[in-house]
Amino acid sequence: MAENGITEQLKQLRPERASREEIEYVHATPYVQQVEAVCKRGGGMLDLDTPVCRDTCETALLAAGGLIKAVDDVMHASDSLKHVFALIRPPGHHATSMRGMGFCIYNNIAIAAEHLKRRYGLHRILIVDWDVHHGNGTQQVFFEDPSVLYFSTHQHPHYPGTGWIDEVGRREGQGFTVNVPLPAGTGDAGYLYALNTILVPIAREFKPEFVLVSAGFDAHAADPLASMNVTSQGFGLFTDLIVELARKSSQGRVVMALEGGYNLEALAESIISVFKALLANGEGKLETGGEPTSAIERVRKRVEEITVVQREYWGL
């Protein structure tokens, strides 16, 4: 970012630790106590994919607290601060109320959404999750909650195995979970087709007061843990779309949280693309490259299936 002249254009925010009360907006006390105990004894495993070391508790509190500070600063700021990208780890979207999994300790994005509801009384929060893995933890937290619209694009089938099109929420939350499981090989054009066909009309109808993004970059063509074909520039295109949605309904307020991404060069390039899009504030549109017709056709068929399911709840 410094080499690309980006940091000098930014206001840098320092994270603050989340309180125990804030963590427990989402996570049950026994789970928080488990994490603390494992850290205290020097480390261990929460599950096969989720190691914990002595310093994990402190870092996880800073990650969750950093995202809380991000939404606070956007809510309190003048018009000059509408977008924040929280460069935090560990990621969060797999963490459920009772379990850490998939490298995730605390569910940063869910905690931030709960904070927005409790501190500011917001009633319509949109979470867009473009990580290549389904955010099962975020879905679980808000599955019965109509105040949070959870929208996820993800490779399917893939870890953690959740996120099929018929997972739409339950009870009062029915219709407020929108899953877009995409076939392996989907690239920029396929993602943009799904986002424009499903996310955009639903978000316009929902009219979010705040937009949160679980920004994982493991859908990149170079990532070793998945099989998608998104380019670094593609993530900038996704950001343009999000910024435009936020401009129309949430006073432009967008906070993004880093989730996955395991090729460090691709991760850096993709994040730079996102920052350029945020700094352009939707005015510097990029052009997407070509994509095989067969890949687009598979996405179109899946989008048609999703539209049939979601039409029961939204005017698609």
How do the domains of the chain map onto residue ranges?
Answer: 7-310
What pLDDT, on the 0 to 100 scale, is given for residue 292? 61
What pLDDT, on the 0 to 100 scale, is given for residue 284? 57
What pLDDT, on the 0 to 100 scale, is given for residue 41? 97
Q: What is this structure's pTM? A: 0.96
User: What are the angstrom distances between the C-alpha of 129 and each of 8, 188, 217?
Assistant: 28, 15, 11
What pLDDT, on the 0 to 100 scale, is given for residue 87? 97
pLDDT tens string, the chain, 316 residues long: the values are 999 999 999 999 999 999 999 999 999 999 999 999 999 999 999 999 999 999 999 999 999 999 999 999 999 986 678 999 999 999 999 999 999 999 999 999 999 999 999 999 999 999 999 999 999 999 999 999 999 999 999 999 999 999 999 999 999 999 999 999 999 999 999 999 999 999 999 999 999 999 999 999 999 999 999 999 999 999 999 999 999 999 999 999 999 999 999 999 999 999 999 999 999 976 655 555 556 667 789 999 999 999 999 999 999 9
What pLDDT, on the 0 to 100 scale, is given for residue 281? 79
What pLDDT, on the 0 to 100 scale, is given for residue 295? 75
What pLDDT, on the 0 to 100 scale, is given for residue 77? 83
What pLDDT, on the 0 to 100 scale, is given for residue 282? 65
What pLDDT, on the 0 to 100 scale, is given for residue 21? 98
- CATH pick for 7-310 out of 3.40.800.20, 3.30.70.141, 3.40.50.1980, 2.40.50.140: 3.40.800.20
For residue 163, give both structure tokens. Answer: 């996120």
Active site residues: 94
